[in-house]
Each structure stands twice: as C-alpha cells, then as structure tokens.
Chains A and B, each alone.
Chain A
Amino acid sequence: MKNSNIVGASVPRLEGRDKISGQARYVDDMKLPEMLYGATVRSRIARGTVRKINFGSEINWEEFVIVGPADIPGRNCIALIDDDQPCLADGVVNHPEEPLLLLAHPDRHLLAKAVEAITVEYDSLPAIFNIQESETLAQVIWGVDNTFKTYLIEKGDVDAVWERADYVVEGEYTTGAQEQLYIENNGMVAQFDAEKGVTVWGSLQCPYYIHKALMKLCGLPADKVRVVQMETGGAFGGKEEYPSMIAAHAVLLAIKSGKPVKIIYDRMEDMTATTKRHPSRTRHRTAVSKSGKILGGEIEFTIDGGAYKTLSPVVLSRGAIHAGGAYYWPNVRIRAKAVATNMPPHGAFRGFGAPQSLFALERHMDRIAEAVGISALEIRRQNFLKTGQTTTTEQVVHEEIDLDKLLDRALKLSDYHAKKEKFAADNQQNGGKKGIGIAAFLHGAGFTGSGERFLGSEVGVEVRADGGVRVLVSSTEFGQGTKTVLCQIVAETLGLRYEDVEIAQPDTQEVPNSGPTVASRTVMVVGKLVQSAAIGIRDTLKASGKIADSYSAEEFRAACQAYVEKNGTFRSIAKYEQPEDVIWDEEKYRGSAYAAFAWAVYVAEVTVDPVTYSASVDDFVALQEVGKVLHPTLAKGQIIGGVVQGIGFALYEKVIWENGRMQNGQMTNYIIPTSADLRSIRVHFEELGNVHGAYGAKGIGELPMDGPAPAVVNAIADALGIPFDSVPLLPEDIFDALGDGTAREDVFSSPREPGGR
C-alpha cells in the first residue's frame, strides 16, 4: 500500500526547525581550533599594472600570513569554462577590487587595519566600462576583440520578410546590473592537512565546481580535495561561481599557515567585489503584418561580462535562446554577444540572461502593438506559440499548452479589463496615474541543449541500518526547498513516511556529483534521478524477496533493516541519460534547447505618484504552468520571492558605477523592497505535467524572475502614455522622461481649481 499525499502536500521544511530556532549552522557560525581569519587586498584601479606594493610600517607583518601569486602550488586560475580569471592578479589588473594579496591573522579586527596599511602603486591604463565602449575597440582588454562569445541562431529566411512587412518596428532596450543581495555574506573556512589534503566548508551552491577549481589551483587529485556545504543564507546564483574564488583564497592561506582559515566578507566587500547580473542591451527589428502577426525579426542581444569570461557564454546562451519568448517566429536571426569591460566579472543571478532578453521582448511586444494599433493582449494572441509549432531554435512544442487560455485566466484573476477601463477614466482626473501591464513568457528548465548530457549527473539513495533511507546529492539547499522536495519524492516513490527519509549534507567526500544547483534543474532533473535511484532500492529489495509487490511503510523499513544486517549498506546510483527526444545541435545552435518549458502570464497594476513620480505595485498576479506543484507552500514561496526580486530589478535596484567600481555597496544605498513596499502578490498554478521531471514537475526557481520587470514597466507606460525601455526605472528617470515642467503638469494636471471639494 503506497503512501500518498507526500508529494503535492506542504510537508514541514526538512531543516525548518533549525532555522526558526537559531540552530542552523552557517559558515560564520563555525569555529575551528587555532583558526585564523583571512582578508583580501584588492585593486583600487580598473586596469593597469602593479609597480610596487608597500607594506605600511604601522603593522607588525611578522604576525601575518601573507600569500601572493607565487604561493599558488598549481595554476593561478579559478577554473571554470576558461582559465582566464586569475586567483590572484599577478602584476596585471583588469578590474577594480581584483584580488592581489591575501592576509591571515588570529585577530579578525586587526585584519582590516592591515589591509588598509598596504598601499599599491600602479601604472594605470585606459579602461572601458560599458558595452558601447567595449565595442569601439579603442581599448582591447580581452582576446582580439573584447568578445568572450557569440552565438547565431537562425530560422527560416529573415532577409526576405522586410519587403512584405506592413510594419517594421524597432526598439532598443537596456537592463542594468543587479546585485543578488543574499542576506548572508559570502564566506569559507579552509583547512589543509599534508595527508588528507584540503577541506573547505562554505556558503555555496555548487560543491563540485569548487572541487574542480581547487584541484587545479593546488595541483591535487580528486580524493585530496573535499568541499562541504554549510547552511547557506540565500544564493540566487550569486554563490554559483564566486565561492570558488573565496575557497581558493582560504585554501592558500591554510596551506601557507598550516592552520584553519576563515574568510567572511563584510557587506561592502561582498557587494563591490563579487558578481552581479550581466547588464544587457537588446535591439529588436521586427517585421509585422497588418493584423499584428510577426513575420520575422532580427534580434541583437549583447551582455557585459566584466573583465573575465567566467560564465558569460552560458548566460549569453540562455538569454539568446529566450530572446524570442513565448511566440512563434517563422523567421528570425538572433545575434548574441558577450563583451569584456573592466568591471568585476558579472555572473549568475536567477534567470541567467532570460530576464534581460525577455524584458526587451515583452516591452517590444507592447511597442509593436502600438505601432499596429492593436491592444497588448491582441498582439500576443496573434503570436503565441501553439502546440506543434517550433521555437526560435526549432524545438517543437509537444505539450498541450494553450497560452490564449492562460492569458484569459490571468486577465480574469487580475480583473484586467475592468481595471484598464477604470484607470483610463480615473487618469483623466487629479491624482496618481494608474496602469496595468502584462508579460507573457516561458522559461526553460535544466541545462541548455547538451548541457545535462555533459554534466552526466549522478545521485545516490542509500538504505540505513534503522530502516530509513538517505539521499545523496551534491544539490544544495539555500532556501528553495531542495532537501524537502527531494525527500518528498523519495518518500512518495517508496511508500515511506516523509520522516523516514533523510538527506546527506553535501560533502564531496560523501555524495556523488548531481550537478550544480542552478538552472532550475534540481526538482526536475535531479528529482527524477533521485526517483530512479529510489526505485533501484525498491527493485533490489523486491529481487531479494524482502518485500512483495505491495507493502506497507513498516514492511519496507523492516526490509531495509534486514538487508543492511545481512549485506551491509546498499547504495543505489542513478545517472543522467539524455532523453531521446531532446536532441540539440551545438554547432548550429538548433534543436531542443530544454527538456521542458514552464509558461507564465504575469499582470502588474501600478500607481505612479504625481508628486514623487514613484511607481508602486498595487497588485500583482503571477499565473504559471509548472508541470506539477510538488509542495504548494514552497512553490508559492519561490514565485513570490522571485516576483519581488523582479520588482526590485524593475523599480528599486540600481548599481551606481564609477570607474568600474560600485559606489553604493551598502544596504542603505542599494535599495531592495521592504515589507512595507509590497501590497498584494497573488500566485496561481496550472499543471500540464512533464515526462522529463519527477512527478511531472518542471523547474520553477527562475521563472518568476522573467516576468515582473516587463509587466511593471508596461504598466507604467500604460499609466503615463510614455514608453520606457530601460530598467531599473527610478522616479528620477520618470521625471526626466516627462520633460519640462509644463509637459509634466500636462500628464498630471488636475482640471479643477484647488479649493473645490
């Protein structure tokens, strides 16, 4: 007899008790005997060479462990896609805050003083700080042409569409950098032992990324490097690749000192030195028929990767593939490019390129609608992808998705038509201007194309002596519910109680490499593997006669106990195999880019204050088709959290740069919403299932990041009758766009004389 109602139910968060009682252990809660603290000396210039490093006499340097590039046992690089990013800059600086030296000392307070006491003399070189400057090639700072990567996606014959177009609509859209702002700063603890090798504990998403990077840095074999994830206080992609850098630093200090070393960033260091969302520029040129059908288009998608390649090619890939969104493009050419600038490298942040290109697209759709003279709804209905049609990469949409109906439901939930009418009338009067805007989009879950095949993820499920089972994955929990959902899946699959399943702390010594915890792949891809591994346990027990075809949870546990008593522990491994119907051509960049897409329509209702020009979101409807909701509370939490980050991306979060350095690297100056800034966010789901995901689930972690910015900006454009093509969109930008005082007054003018009632 199988237990039901574990998958699909809001079971208690596995590690929830620890989190609400203050017992959860994050890396800064760790202390090891004789532990030193580490700190990083960083470049103050954007580009140049180091002439001299001076150690101030006010510090007794004998007390300090000092590490420079010469101390690196292996290769001076943080291995990722390319090896171009040094662990420590060796005489050449390519961005502000680039690491130069490392210091360690038992007194953590003294470290800050020591860092300040080191002065560096540079020979500066001219530096570049944005996409346009990079493109001029006045300075070539990377490769031969400042270009990390390009992609070309072509479908049909776009050159032939222009002459039969009734409308040709152009637009340019830009998005700024965005800081992940996990509330727990980055940190690592490292230890070195001549026999055991190197161990790191940290706040991180991808233990095996760090494992690989440390092997190369230290010249150590796999079994001499161990990476352990501690409870991680938020990540959102910001702890995908950067932790490898910190781990490398802590390890180098640990090796040199012979003592454990802890490096914890403070907020300013974390904000100014670590990765941010890639700034982007998207140019659309679209041929449209009289009725509003897209005949074809050219899309140029460019992202600013910062000073080193890091993950930019992958962000570019996802952004490029999502650039056509949820619409049918019979003909399209997408030219995508990632360029170098002298900024700290930009990196992973929830959405990973898609929020950028989808912002552009969804703004552009509204622009097309206006050009054609039809509504924002109609332009989308004319072009929605339908079952059987192909995406921009010629992936066939097999599932029975009906975006028209999804849109209908979103409109109903948000009371769109009534509100649009009311706002148009109310806007004639005094007071705030109200608007309503939509975004319709998709998000592909899992690694792109052949990515999952290259990852070759592996998971394990193990039987315990007490009859329970243990899940072994390198997938990490950082709030999204990894532990809970994977245990739900196993419990449901095996007919056990939820409490009978536990999950190992991600420790590369203990768990196989289930791939990085990114790309909305954990529930869908890893969950399905975990399910397979669990089935492997069940099949083994059945084969050994310990359980019948139908069994109770107690019988299963007893069978496990008996098995372990007799044979010792048993671990069932499952390894990823690319589904046969997911075929991708890496060269032509064509085919099935993702095993599954989740689909969504978001509706934002805003008010623009006539006095301050601040836009506030009064109501937000987030409707998405997600395959299957495995845990309603967690799923809802993911969507709301992502929506609020998306609203931040649209309205609040601006990185202020000066010569490549973030100037507002404090929580007081980098603005994210507080609880007092949001009113109503309403989340609804549809479920079409997914053959490639555990229990039919699709990945949803990043989906909610894609829709809010365009929905909100479309709503503001609706409220004011002015287009806006850039985020973040601050009150100052709205003020500037409204022009001089007279024009402003016209938008906000009150027809009545003051004094009346």
Chain B
Amino acid sequence: MTGSSQRSTECKISFNVNGHATSLQIHAMERLLDVLRHELGLTGTKEGCGEGECGSCSVLMDGLLVNSCLIPALQANGASIVTIEGLTADSSAKGLQQAFLKCGAAQCGICTPGMILAAFHLLSKKPQPSVDEIREGLAGNLCRCTGYMQIVEAVAEVARSGAAR
C-alpha cells in the first residue's frame, strides 16, 4: 500500500466503494467517514461521536466491520468499502432491512445504517447467532431510542429464517 504525494499531506487513493472503482486526491489523514460523506456524497454513513464508540459510522472494509471515523483515508487505499447505500443498491441486506421495518428496529434512524452494517457483518460470519451472540455483535452500536430489544428481534428473525438477503 503506497501513496504518492503532491503536497506532503495529500495523496491519491484508489479504492472500491460499493462496487465502483474510485480515485481521489485527498489529505492522507482525512477520515474515511468524511471522504464518504463529503467527497463521495454518500451521506448514509453517520457521525455520532467521532471517537469510535457509537458505531453510527460503521462500514465494511474488505469485508470487516470498521468504524470509518477512525480510519485515515490513506489506509483505505486499495480497499473495498461497502456502505449502507451499497447494501441497499444490491439488495444484499434486503431481508435484514425488511426485518428492521417489521420489528420496529428503526425509530429515529440515525443509528440504523451502522446497525444494519453490524448486523449484516455478524450474520455473514455467523448465520445462526444466538441471542447472546447478537447482543455481543451489536454491542459496538449504540442506540438511544429503541432500547435494543426490537433490533435484536429483527436480527434473530433473519437468523431464524435464514433470509439476510
């Protein structure tokens, strides 16, 4: 992973976002969250805390759940990023999204994109998680509205039916 620089703090990064190859000239220490929201206009990923606690900024990077507020742009060079927009566009989380709607798992919606990413990631690693495993898998995503029960219910329902997609 190398970066060439014009001015010493800038670099060119090439990465894949939601299936699209993308290149940007950007400050190396720009947060991935800001790259997504400001440079690429993908505002579905949210900032709740800026300290990696709330999980609202969760995306998938090379298949792994990460907090994009803690990733400098340069470290995303060469990576494959999936955001809520990507999951929606290719319907890969359709079952999960339906379950969220049905179970009341989204109230104000601000934690929802991150929560769906986290649930999707959990189910991709463990298609049949127990309730405790669901709770643990989502413990890095804070929600203030729902009290979590209906979110856990939604994920459990998807796990039962085996229909994340």
Contacts and interface: CB of A to CB of B under 8 A. Distances in A.
B90 interface: no
Contacts of A15: 109
B49 A10 contact: no
Sorted nearest first, the 3 A-B pairs with minimum C-beta distance are: A22-B44, A233-B110, A479-B108
Interface in A627-670: 633-634, 636-637, 640-645, 666-668
A456 interface: no
A166 B154 CA distance: 54
A628 to B, nearest CB: 18
7 contacts: A29-B37, A184-B48, A233-B108, A235-B108, A633-B150, A637-B107, A674-B138
Contacts of B81: none
A19 B104 contact: no
Interface string A221-241: 000000000011111100000
Interface stretch (A460-468, A510-518, A675-683): A675-683
Contacts of B37: 28-29
Contact of B51 (A481, A633, A667, A674): A667
A183 interface: yes
B20 to A, nearest CB: 16
A667 B146 contact: no
Interface stretch (B72-80, B95-103, B157-165): B95-103
Given A21-B44, A185-B47, A672-B144, 10 more contacts: A13-B104, A20-B100, A21-B88, A26-B46, A184-B46, A234-B108, A633-B103, A633-B150, A637-B145, A667-B49
Contact of A640 (B113, B136, B149): B149
Contact of B54 (A16, A480, A667, A673): A667
B142 A667 contact: yes
A666 B106 contact: no
A594 B135 CA distance: 40
B127 interface: no
Contacts of B134: 675
Given A21-B97, A678-B147, A641 B45 contact: no
Contact of B147 (A183, A233, A640): A640
B108 A182 contact: yes
Interface string A17-37: 111111111101100000000
A267 B48 contact: yes
Contacts of A73: none
B84 interface: yes
Nearest to B150: A637
B10 interface: no
Given A641-B145, A643-B147, A674-B139, A478 B108 contact: yes
A110 to B, nearest CB: 13
A266 interface: yes
B151 A183 contact: no
B53 A668 contact: yes
A579 to B, nearest CB: 31
A568 interface: no
Contacts of A645: 144, 147
Most A-side CB within 10 Å, residue of B43, B97, B101, B110: B110
Contacts of A234: 107-108, 110, 144-145
A388 interface: no
A12 interface: yes
Contact of A183 (B104, B135, B143): B143
Given A183-B142, A667-B51, A13 B106 contact: yes
Chain B binding surface, main DSSP class: loop
Interface in B122-139: 134-136, 138-139
Contact of A681 (B44, B101, B135, B149): B149
Nearest to B97: A20
A267 B147 contact: no
A436 B100 CA distance: 33
A640 B146 contact: yes
A246 to B, nearest CB: 17
Nearest to A22: B44
Interface of A: 10, 12-13, 15-26, 28-29, 180-185, 231-236, 266-267, 478-481, 633-634, 636-637, 640-645, 666-668, 672-676, 678, 681
Contacts of A640: 146-150
A164 to B, nearest CB: 46
B109 to A, nearest CB: 3
A266 B83 CA distance: 22
A520 to B, nearest CB: 16
Most A-side CB within 10 Å, residue of B53, B56, B134: B53
Contacts of A184: 46, 48, 108, 110
Contacts of B100: 16, 20
B50 A16 contact: no
A183 B111 contact: yes
Contacts of B48: 183-185, 267, 667
B150 to A, nearest CB: 6
A675 B109 contact: no
B116 interface: yes
Contacts of A24: 109
A644 B141 CA distance: 15
Contacts of B84: 21-22
A614 B136 CA distance: 19
B145 A479 contact: yes
A24 B88 CA distance: 13
B82 to A, nearest CB: 12
Most B-side CB within 10 Å, residue of A13, A21, A184: A21
A633 B53 contact: no
Contacts of A676: 135-136, 139
A22 B143 CA distance: 16
A16 B106 contact: yes
B46 A644 contact: no
Contact of A267 (B49, B143, B152): B49
Interface in B49-70: 49-51, 53-54, 56
Nearest to A477: B108
Nearest to A184: B110
A668 B140 CA distance: 11
A672 B145 CA distance: 12
A636 B105 CA distance: 11
A180 to B, nearest CB: 8
Nearest to A668: B53
A182 B104 contact: no
Nearest to A670: B53
A20 B112 contact: yes
A38 B1 CA distance: 36
B109 A479 contact: yes
A280 to B, nearest CB: 22
A668 B67 CA distance: 14
Contacts of A642: 147
B142 A674 contact: yes
Contacts of B136: 675-676
A479 B107 contact: yes
Nearest to B117: A22
Nearest to B116: A20
Nearest to A642: B147
Given A13-B106, A20-B106, A678 B148 contact: yes
Nearest to B96: A20
B101 A636 contact: no
B101 A20 contact: yes
A675 B138 contact: yes
Most B-side CB within 10 Å, residue of A29, A234, A672: A234
A266 B107 contact: no
Nearest to A231: B109
A659 to B, nearest CB: 24
Contacts of A232: 108
A233 B109 contact: yes
Contacts of B146: 637, 640-641
B117 to A, nearest CB: 10
